[in-house]
Amino acid sequence: MIGIPEIFFYIFCALIFGSSLLVVFSYNLLRSAFALFFVLFGIAGFYVLLGGDFLAVIQIMVYAGGINILLIFGTMMTGSISQPETSNPSFQGILTLIGGGGLLLILLIILNHTTWPSQSLIDHGPTTKQIGQLLLRNYILPFEVISFLLVAAMVGAIVLINKGERS
Amino acid sequence: MEAFAVSLGVHIYLVKAIIMFIIAALSVTFMAVISGLTTWFERRIAGRMQSRIGPNRVGPQGLLQFVADAVKLFMKEDLIPKGADRLLFKMSPYLCMIGVFAPFVVLPWGMGIIAADLNVGVLYLISITALVVVGTLMAGWGSNNKWSLLGGMRSAAQIVSYEIPVAMGLLPSILFAGSLSMIGLMNAQGWAPWQWSAFQNPFTMIAFLIFFTGSLAEGNRVPFDLPEAESELVSGFNTEYSGFRFAVYFLAEWANLYVIGALTTAVFLGGGNLPEALQPYWYLSIFLFLLKTFFIMFVIIWLRWTLPRFRIDQLMDLSWKYLLPLSFIAFFGQAVYMLIDHQFPVIDMVTGPIMFLIFLLVLLKFFYRVAINFREQNKTVNTRA
Amino acid sequence: MVNTLPYLNFIPAYVLIGISILIFFVGKAVPKISRLPVTVFFIFILCIAFMMEGAGSGSQVLFFNMIQIDSFSRLYNQLFFLVILSTVLMMSNSEEIDSDLRWENYGLLSTICLGMMFMVSSKHLLMTVVGIELVSLPSYLLVAMNKKNPASKEAALKYVLFGSFATGIMLYGMSFLFGLTGSLTFEGLWNGLSGYHILGSPIYFLAIFMTLGGIAFKISAVPFHFWTPDAYQAAPTPITAFLSCAPKVAGLALLMRFFAVLLPEQSEQMGVFISIVAMLTMTLGNFAALKQTDIKRLLAYSSISHAGFLLMGVAVMNDAGRQVVFFYIPIYLLMNLGAFMAIIYLSKGTNFQIDSYKGMIYKKPLLVVSLAVCMFSLAGIPPFAGFIGKLYLFKVVIEKEMFLLAIVAGINSVVSLYYYVYVLKVMIIDKDITPEIEFKGKPATIAFVASCAVPLVFFGIYWVPLLDWASKVVLFQ
């Protein structure tokens, strides 16, 4: 008997799979960018099914609402987005096909033959508190150090743009 | 009700699905009616403010004007411009609609009355606006019209920028309540104004103002209505839409107004909290909640017809240079305040009433000014006559 | 309540570099501070940090199994400070660096430094990722900041794309590892992987190979080396010199720490795997270098092949191997930095063609002789220090009975001789046909190259002090 979670799992799977195909094969770059939104949205659905409510919402907020929007913006600014030769599904040659297909095959075979040490979901309680405690206790060092990375990225981006504007 | 249905032999999932559908249908219907009424409300207020009458023909005092408008919109031909990206063009209204209606999952209607009390309700509410952004971008691009494109891009830029101050503005309240669920946020406050989280201490007050300002921008309301600036962009991202699709945008916009009002009420203005004596009458709490919400909506409409529009660079400056640092200060201040408050709980008893008192004084001053203005205005009008 | 603040006492240099990042990024905005001599200030900070690391002792596990401070991390950190110091000197002598952007450049360099420090001391995959990204992101930016070469933007973009690809693969592999073992610390990982049906199964290799991909990207080992020539060619030359040394060293150190807690059977498998990568890397680097006409590209490929040589020391998976790697690294730094500094002096604009250096010996004899010492040392010719470094590498490999690796490395040493000597032949034997040109470089540059060359000769004859230094490099002590 298929339970409700399984039904939703397959719905999200279909959403992710369909939209990713669109991302890859759409002849219009902008449509790819929009389709990516639904991929990211579907992944948030997976998080919900795994009991990670906080993570799901953050996924939507950061990836679907932030990064993907910027991506769409960037795509809108680029020229000739709807021409197949400069756009998405350009055929990169037989070697790439073999490489990509080979990787897919290897992953499929290996992941299928692996028995993962699985744990059942213990409870579906709120995760926000635990995440907060982990971040500020066990993972405090990466959590703080990553802010240096963000500062560096921000400063670097501003410097590059400033330089471009001046010249 | 669930148990009763199951005892009749109906499958549990089916019962749940049916209940979900009923709640959803109720919400959507409520929303459609409310947004319709709000259009009438706003037009009447606008009329008053501009010394004219506004719609008053259809129904008593023009109350049914929105029904007439809706019927007119349905009759219109549904046009898709030549060269438009048909898929995106058609998809956009749906996304905007979903983005505006999805918050109703977590919007409370009164004390403990809510469709689903998610653990991360507030975050869900903020993040789901992503759908609206994508919808407007789709509309802007898909219309094959430069005004639409500009409007869509402005809208997206604006929402993405103001999402941060809005979220940061909510944080002090979340700290205060120690919860992300809407019910938790409401329960942390009390019925009296000095128990509301907006008047807890100076920092929550700042956060409230930041949140309110940011919400106006996120909802594309004046003074931040650049995406649909009539004088520049015809009508913004929905220029090319007509008929039913346009009606959907229209509906979404007013529904968004209600969402802003309800969120402000629930998080900052005490929600539907009733005094101890009135607790058993739960319907009063719904009434109170709606009253506060409508008041906030009135304030937003009032602002619309009072303030001029910002320029785009001013808009961005306001968000990134002022609201964002201010919201950080508010967040940090609230954290420090809570630390001190933890050791000296007396402070808590004092700051609330003081803040409320200050608010009352400001209000009094405002009324005083208004009164003077009225008197002067009457004088000048009389002398001219 | 656990207070982690006292932990900072154990990592004073990390704190200092962290503070310096903030100072450099904020300093530009403060009008009075921005007029201060920032280069002197940065060198001062690096010296203090160097002394702080020298003063530390003992082994500590900090921040809930996130990082390990031991003599290994301290000595490598000191090396990083030295490299950055020489990079700063090179940057102040190069025309390709925009001197208006000194504050930002030094801030980015400090960020890279912090990242490398966390890479060598990390004990947890999460910290590893953070460290690698802290190194990668500022590197992309520094590559893009070449004032003279517009191609640097394109090269930086390639670098970014490749870097994110490598990081993606690494994270995918880490997710497998976490799924298999439920742990992210290195010990927990290898212990968890020792279960009988995991060890040696396909997923075991897949997960580890993918995880190593990100590290291989940093040391530009095959098959993650494609970005190297393009990025090196278009980057400002001091940055090229920096990228060809420091992140590689950090990547190798991270690799050694990652493999430090292996069980015997695992170490056998991983040794074979690393030696294969090492052979591929050095062979590809050398044979590609043969065809180069641009000296920066040539040195890029040479640095790839040197990464291969250094991987030999990693492949043996014991303390002797680790010490030999550390023994070779200072020598490698000296010869590489010296060569790049000489190029900065000799080249005009963005022209780095080898042919344009014809007959340089007649114009700048001291510089070219010093460069020749660096080049011979890179090739591993006997009287110079590079030879001793390679000798020790061969020694540990042969002691571990990895004969194939030793043979391939030997052949490669011979091949590499060709292109290093070719450069020298152009500079010394070929007659100059171009008219006299003005060298804009300062005499300090020549002093720098000479001060790289002298120790190379010295250590080539008497290498005991270096050996003593390297013998202090022991993990967990």
Asked whether the predicted pLDDT for residue A143 surpasses 80, the reply is: yes
- Asked if residue C63 belongs to a domain, the reply is no
Instruction: Supply angle C-alpha B292, B298, B300, rounded to 5.
Output: 110
- Asked if residue A134 belongs to a domain, the reply is yes
Q: How far is CA C388 from the centre of its chain?
A: 19
Parent domain of B40: 1-75
pLDDT tens, residue by residue, C102-157: 888 899 999 999 999 999 999 899 999 999 999 999 999 888 888 777 788 888 88
Q: Are residues B67 and B161 in the same domain?
A: no
Report the chain C residue with the minimal C-alpha distance to residue A163: C145
Chain A hits for C27, CB-CB cut-off 8 Å, are none
Alpha-carbon distance A73 to nearest alpha carbon in chain B (angstroms): 8
**Which pair of tokens denotes residue B160?**
């993405």
- Asked if residue A69 belongs to a domain, the reply is yes
- Helix residue spans in chain B (DSSP H): 2-7, 12-49, 65-75, 86-101, 121-127, 130-142, 146-177, 182-187, 202-218, 230-233, 243-268, 282-304, 312-317, 324-343, 346-384
Q: Which residues contact C410 (CB under 8 A, 6 or more apart)?
A: C394
Parent domain of C472: 276-477
Q: How far is the first Cα of chain C from the last one, in angstroms, to the nearest whole number? A: 29
Mean pLDDT of the residues in chain A: 82
- Asked if residue B318 belongs to a domain, the reply is yes
- Asked if residue B385 belongs to a domain, the reply is no
Cβ distance A151 to C22 less than 8 Å, yes or no, reads yes
Burial class (CB in 10 A: 0-12, 13-18, 19+), B190: middle
- Tell me how far apart the alpha carbons of residues C141 and A162 are, in angstroms, rounded to a whole number: 13
Report the chain A residue with the minimal C-alpha distance to residue B126: A61
- Asked if residue A95 belongs to a domain, the reply is no
Which of A53, A64, A73 is facing B156, going by the closest CB pair?
A: A73
Strands (E), A49-146: none
- Asked if residue A28 belongs to a domain, the reply is yes
- Asked if residue A86 belongs to a domain, the reply is no
- Tell me how far apart the alpha carbons of residues C139 and C119 are, in angstroms, rounded to a whole number: 15
Asked whether the predicted pLDDT for residue B232 surpasses 80, the reply is: no
Cβ distance B85 to A60 less than 8 Å, yes or no, reads no
Chain C hits for A117, CB-CB cut-off 8 Å, are 180, 182
Q: How far is the first Cα of chain B from the last one, in angstroms, to the nearest whole number? A: 68
Instruction: Supply angle C-alpha A31, A32, A37, rounded to 5.
Output: 95
Chain A hits for C209, CB-CB cut-off 8 Å, are none
The mean pLDDT value for B253-277 works out to 85
Q: Which residues contact B38 (CB under 8 A, 6 or more apart)?
A: B254, B257, B258, B297
Q: Are residues B268 and B328 in the same domain?
A: yes
Strands (E), chain B: 108-110, 113-114
Report the chain A residue with the minimal C-alpha distance to residue B138: A34
Confidence category of residue A124, pLDDT binned at 50, 70, 90 = low
Parent domain of A158: 125-167
Cis, bond preceding C223 (omega within 30 deg of 0): yes
Q: Are residues B39 and B95 in the same domain?
A: no
- Tell me how far apart the alpha carbons of residues B176 and B170 are, in angstroms, rounded to a whole number: 10
- In Å, the largest CA–CA distance within chain C is 75
Give the count of domains, chain C. 1
pLDDT tens, residue by residue, B66-119: 888 888 888 887 778 887 778 888 888 888 888 888 888 888 887 777 877 888
Q: Are residues A76 and A148 in the same domain?
A: no
Alpha-carbon distance B45 to nearest alpha carbon in chain A (angstroms): 34
**Which pair of tokens denotes residue C342?**
């000489």
Q: Are residues A5 and A68 in the same domain?
A: yes
Domain boundary (B50, B75, B100) is at B75
Q: How far is CA C391 from the centre of its chain?
A: 20
Beta bridge partners of C124: C185
Interface predicted TM-score of the whole assembly (ipTM), two decimals = 0.87
The mean pLDDT value for B245-267 works out to 86
Give the count of domains, chain A. 2
Q: Which residues contact C285 (CB under 8 A, 6 or more apart)?
A: C225, C301, C302, C303, C304, C305, C306, C307, C308
Chain A hits for C203, CB-CB cut-off 8 Å, are 110-111, 113-114
Alpha-carbon distance A166 to nearest alpha carbon in chain B (angstroms): 20
8 Å CB contact between B192 and B199: no
Domain boundary (B40, B55, B75) is at B75
Return the C-alpha torsion angle B319, B321, B324, B328, nearest 10.
Answer: -170
- Asked if residue A64 belongs to a domain, the reply is yes
Mutate to test the interface with B, among A6, A36, A54, A61 (most CBs of B within 10 A): A61
- Asked if residue A111 belongs to a domain, the reply is no
- Asked if residue A98 belongs to a domain, the reply is no
Asked whether the predicted pLDDT for residue A2 surpasses 70, the reply is: no
- Tell me how far apart the alpha carbons of residues B347 and C470 are, in angstroms, rounded to a whole number: 61
DSSP C129-170: HHHHHHHHHHHHHHHHT-SS-THHHHHHHHHHHHHHHHHHHH
Distances in Å between the Cα of A166 and the Cα atoms of A159, A162, B310, C140 are: 11, 6, 28, 21
Which of B88, B120, B149 is facing A34, going by the closest CB pair?
A: B88
Q: Which residues contact C162 (CB under 8 A, 6 or more apart)?
A: C217, C224, C226, C227
Q: Are residues B165 and B50 in the same domain?
A: no
- Can you give the pLDDT at residue C200? 75
Give the count of domains, chain B. 2
8 Å CB contact between B184 and B112: no
Q: Are residues B70 and B115 in the same domain?
A: no
Q: Are residues A142 and A71 in the same domain?
A: no
Q: Are residues B20 and B123 in the same domain?
A: no
8 Å CB contact between A37 and A70: no
pLDDT tens, residue by residue, C208-233: 888 998 889 888 888 888 888 888 88
Distances in Å between the Cα of C359 and the Cα atoms of B140, C2, C299, C373, C426 are: 63, 67, 20, 17, 7
Indicate contact of A with C: 3+ CB pairs under 8 A. yes
**Which pair of tokens denotes residue C376?**
């011979």
- Tell me how far apart the alpha carbons of residues C318 and C472 are, in angstroms, rounded to a whole number: 14
8 Å CB contact between C426 and C295: no
What is the identity of the amino acid at C137? L
Residue B117, chain A, CB below 8 Å: the answer is no
- Tell me how far apart the alpha carbons of residues A61 and A49 are, in angstroms, rounded to a whole number: 18
Q: Are residues B188 and B53 in the same domain?
A: no
- Asked if residue C261 belongs to a domain, the reply is no
Q: pTM (2 decimals)?
A: 0.88
Size of interface A-C (CB pairs under 8 A): 91
Residue B153, chain A, CB below 8 Å: the answer is yes
Distances in Å between the Cα of C132 and the Cα atoms of A143, B204, C18, C74 are: 15, 40, 16, 18
Q: Are residues A77 and A129 in the same domain?
A: no
Domain boundary (B27, B47, B75) is at B75
Host H or E run for residue C379? helix C365-379
The mean pLDDT value for A141-157 works out to 89
The mean pLDDT value for B287-296 works out to 88
Mean pLDDT of the residues in chain B: 83
- Can you give the pLDDT at residue B19? 84
Instruction: Supply angle C-alpha A95, C214, C299, rounded to 5.
Output: 80
Residue B146, chain A, CB below 8 Å: the answer is no
Residue B137, chain A, CB below 8 Å: the answer is yes
- Asked if residue B231 belongs to a domain, the reply is yes
- Asked if residue C464 belongs to a domain, the reply is yes
Host H or E run for residue C378? helix C365-379
pLDDT tens, residue by residue, A46-94: 888 888 888 888 888 888 888 888 888 888 877 666 565 555 566 667 8
Relative orientation angle of helices C202-218 and A94-112, to the nearest 10 degrees? 130
**Which pair of tokens denotes residue A158?**
């501003």
- Asked if residue B382 belongs to a domain, the reply is no
CATH number at residue A32: 1.20.120.1200
Alpha-carbon distance B3 to nearest alpha carbon in chain A (angstroms): 19
